Structure 1
Amino acid sequence: RTGQRVDAAIGIGPPALDGSVLSRSRDGADRALRVLLAHGGARRVATAEEVHVDALMLDLADLAAARGDVATGPVARLLDYDARHQSQLVRTLSCWLDAFGDVAAASAAAYVHPNTFRYRLRRVAEVGEINLDDPGERFAAMLQLRLHPAHHCA
Structure 2
Amino acid sequence: MTQRILENLSRQYQALKVLNHLQEEEFTHLKEFRPQSVGALEFSIHELMRQLMVERQDVRRMVREVNPGAARLADLSELFGEQWGKAQALLDQIDRLEQVCAKQAEKSYTLALALYDQSSGYVDFFKDKLTPVKHSYGRQGVFAKTKPAPAMLRGAL
TM-score, scaled to structure 1: 0.21
Rg bigger for which structure? 2
